[in-house]
């Protein structure tokens, strides 16, 4: 006989439903097998689904699945899951330890009516790389000159605070917005640099208060374009600090990354860089329901 579990779609990095980045959230996943979690993620179809499992009295355990595979960490699904827990009173404000496949990370919940949830990643790493801009331009559908010009001052790099991304500056918003990526070529580029995907960004923004505008492409993990990306924002914040992108050091206290506008899912990631890197945002529930889940010995098909 199938069992049932509560399952939500929560829009992260926004306070308006049907914008930002939708994540599946299963707030009580302790009895689910790996095959069942993968089937639920496939059924929900969100770029990632977070499965919250009890680990100990002081820690939560979270696993993350795309529709096709497990991933080690996901920023927007973490924000979505812990925002939901906080808003339902299941989680107190303050810091919380969260066990993930990359190790233990800290989640901090602000004491607000619509709390901002902050995810502190692992110790940042940034490694600059040499790229063939003609090849990158072909992969992303961007004029190579728009990459080479800014790359002369800000070299591309693979950066990570838990999940590596290839951070790639682009001259202007018009060029970034007109990108027409070829998934196979983007996957080849990311794989070559052991990155989850490509995070292309420009300092040319829609909102004057934003630090940059970004687009994230990760076809290798089943996400052609991610609307708003927490792990990539954390990686990019570490990158900006590493290359001294801002002369004013206080700029790193409140970075604001806009994303998702070119896929009609606008959202905003906040980031701050000090001794570590944290990304934050709000979230709102778009769908709250129940799924029927077949027993592990049955075929792994989820019936809505």
Catalytic residues: 48
From CA 105, how far away is CA 277, in angstroms rounded?
11
Cα dihedral 158, 119, 122, 171 in deg (nearest 10): 20
Instruction: Supply the DSSP string of 162-225, one letter for each residue.
Output: SS-EEEEE-S-HHHHHT----HHHHHHHHHHTT-S-EEEEES--SSTT-SEEEEEEEGGGTEEE
From CA 278, how far away is CA 122, in angstroms rounded?
9
The answer to whether 300 and 38 are in contact (CB under 8 A) is yes
Bridging pattern class, strands 198-202 and 165-169: parallel
């Amino acid at each position: 006989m199938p069992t049932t579990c509560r399952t939500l779609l929560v829009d992260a990095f926004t306070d308006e439903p049907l914008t930002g980045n939708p994540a599946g959230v299963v707030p009580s996943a302790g009895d689910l097998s790996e095959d069942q979690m993968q089937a639920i993620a496939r059924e929900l179809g969100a770029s990632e689904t977070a499965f919250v499992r009890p680990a100990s009295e002081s820690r939560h355990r979270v696993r993350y699945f795309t529709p096709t595979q497990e991933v080690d960490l996901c920023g927007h699904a973490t924000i979505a899951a812990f925002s939901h827990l906080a808003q339902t009173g299941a989680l107190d404000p303050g810091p919380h330890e969260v066990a993930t496949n990359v190790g233990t990370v800290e989640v901090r919940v602000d004491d607000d009516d619509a709390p901002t949830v902050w995810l502190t990643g692992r110790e940042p790493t940034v490694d600059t790389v040499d790229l063939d801009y003609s090849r990158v331009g072909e992969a992303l559908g961007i004029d190579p000159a728009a990459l080479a010009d800014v790359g002369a001052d800000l070299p591309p790099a693979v950066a990570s605070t838990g999940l590596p991304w290839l951070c790639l500056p682009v001259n202007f918003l018009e060029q970034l917005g007109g990108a027409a990526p070829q998934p196979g070529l983007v996957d080849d580029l990311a794989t070559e640099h052991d990155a989850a995907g490509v995070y292309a960004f420009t300092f040319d923004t829609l909102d004057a208060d934003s630090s940059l505008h970004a687009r994230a492409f990760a076809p290798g993990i089943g996400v052609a374009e991610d609307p708003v990306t927490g792990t990539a924002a954390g990686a990019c914040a570490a990158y900006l600090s590493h290359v001294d992108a801002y002369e004013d050091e206080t700029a790193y206290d409140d970075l604001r990354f806009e994303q998702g506008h070119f896929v009609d899912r606008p959202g905003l990631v906040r980031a701050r860089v000090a001794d570590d890197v944290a990304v934050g945002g709000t979230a709102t529930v778009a769908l709250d329901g129940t799924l029927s889940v077949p027993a592990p010995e049955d075929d792994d098909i989820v019936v809505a």
